[in-house]
Amino acid sequence: MPGQKSNEMWGGRFAEGPDCIMSSINASIGFDQRLAAQDIAGSQAHAQMLGVTGIISRADFEDIKVGLETVLKEIQSGTFVFSEGLEDIHMNVEVRLRELIGPAAGRLHTARSRNDQVATDFRLWVRDQLDAAESAISALMEALLEQAEKGAAWVMPGFTHLQSAQPVTWGHHMMAYVEMFSRDLGRVSDARRRMNESPLGAAALAGTSFPIDRDMTAEALGFDRPCANSLDAVSDRDFALEFLGLSSICAMHLSRLSEELVIWSTAQFRFVRLSDRFSTGSSIMPQKKNPDAAELIRAKIGRIMGANVALMTVMKGLALTYSKDMQEDKEPVFDAADNLFLALAAMTGMVKDMTALPETLRAAAGTGFATATDLADWLVREKGTAFRDAHHITGALVALAEEKDCELNDLTLSDMQSIDKQIDEGVYSVLTVENSIASRTSYGGTAPEQVRFQINRWKKILVK
C-alpha cells in the first residue's frame, strides 16, 4: 500500500513502499526459495574470496561463514521463515544473516549484485539437474538393456506406418530405445560442459572495481572458468534453454515409448503385460487394466515443451543486459525438471516390471507377409533377378497369398511358379521369420548375434 515502509535493501532511493499488487507481481520468493542451497553456496564462495583478497576483514568473513552455515541448517530443517516482503531468496538469506551476525552481514554483498548472484544460483541449480538427468537416463537405459538381454532372440514384428514390415527381435527393439536415450545422455553432457562457467563477479553488468579473484570463486563452485564477458554473464539464460531443449527431446522419446507400451498392452496386441504397480482400474468396468502411467508420461511432453517455448518467448526480445522479465525464467524450468524426472522414474519402473509375451510376439511376426523382402532378396541373390523385377514378382505373390487367405510360406511351389517359373524349393528357407532375422547380420542389424554385441557394448559404456 502507499505509505508502506520501503524494502530496506533498496529503500534509499524510494520514500514509499510498493503497492500490494506490485509486491505480488515483483516477489519471487514463492518459487526461487528452491535456489536456497545454491544461493548459500555462492555466498560462501564469494565471502571466502572477499576474505582472502582482503576486501573484507578476516573477522567479518568468519562471522559470515558461521552465519551462512546456520541459515542453511535452518532452511534444511524447515525452521527458516521465508518472507514475501523480502522479494527473493537472496534478500531472505541476507536479512536473516544480519539478524544472526549483525553489521558484518552487510559486507557480504561487496563487489556483487543480485544480477550475477541469481545468474550464478540458477546455473548451479541447472547444473545439479543435468547431473541428476545423467543418472536418471542411465538408469532407464540399464532397464532397457535388461529387457533386451532377456529377449535378444525373441522374434517380433517390426513396423513401418504401424503396419507389419519385417521381422525383428525384441532385443533389437529395446536397443533402439537405448540408442535414442543415449543421445539424450550426450545432450546432457554437452550442455553441462558448455554452461559450466561462473557469472559470479560480473556484478550488475560491468564488473567491479574491487580487486576480486573470479578464478577463485569459479573453482570453489566447481566451474571450469569465469564467464569472459560481464554483460553476457548476467543476461545469458542459454543454459536454462538448453536444459529445456534437451528435456523436451527426452520427453518426446519417453512419449514414443509410452505410446508403444499403450498399444502393446491392449487385448488386440498382447505384446506386453504391464505390472499392477504402474496400472489402474476402472470405476465401472471390472475387467479393465489401464496403462495410466504410460499415458501420463506421454502427456508430459506438452508441459515440458511448453516450458521451452515459454522461456524462449521471454528471452527473445530482451536487450542486454538484465531485465525483470528474466524473473520468469525459473518457474518453467522448475516445472519441466519436476515432470521430466517423474516421467523418467515412472518409465524406468515400468520397463523393469513389464513382461514381454514371446509367444504372442512370435505369432504376430509371422503375419502380414513380413518375409516378403526376404523373398525378393532371395530372387536377387539366388536367381540373379534385378531387384525391381524381384520386387514386382514378390508383390504378385503377396497378392496371390491375400487371395488365398494365407501367408507366403503357405503357398505351394506350384502357386509360386505360376508367378515366376524360376522359383524352386530353396525359397522356403527364407520364408520363416527365424531365418529372416538370423540373416540380418549387418552391423546394427536385428540378428541376435548383432543384438548381443550391442548389448555388451552398452554395458561397458554405462559401467564407466
How many angstroms separate the CA atoms of 11 and 34, rounded? 26
Buried b (16+ CB within 10 A) or exposed e, 18-34: beeeebeeebbbeebbb
C-alpha closest to that of 167 among 327, 365, 329: 365
Please indicate whether residue 282 is annotated as part of the active site. Answer: yes
Please give the distance of CA 369 from its chain centroid, rounded to a whole number: 38
- Taking a C-beta distance cutoff of 8 angstroms, is the pair 254, 228 a contact? no
- Taking a C-beta distance cutoff of 8 angstroms, is the pair 39, 28 a contact? no
Alpha helices in 196-237 (DSSP H): 214-220, 230-235
- Which of 57, 83, 135, 282 is the catalytic position? 282
- Which of 161, 209, 283, 442 is the catalytic position? 161
C-alpha closest to that of 447 among 457, 455, 456, 435: 435
List Cα–Cα distances, 245 to 264, 301, 309, 333, 440, in angstroms: 29, 11, 9, 11, 35
* Residue 379, number of CB atoms within 10 A of its CB: 24
- Work out the end-to-end distance of the chain between its first and last CA atoms, rounded to an integer number of angstroms: 59
How many angstroms separate the CA atoms of 409 and 390, rounded? 17
The grid cell for 271 is 505384446
Which residues are within 8 A (CB) of 268 and not within 5 positions of it... i.e. 6 or more apart?
A: none
How many angstroms separate the CA atoms of 377 and 394, rounded? 10
C-alpha closest to that of 396 among 413, 378, 415, 368: 415
* Residue 224, number of CB atoms within 10 A of its CB: 11
The residues annotated as belonging to the active site are 161, 282
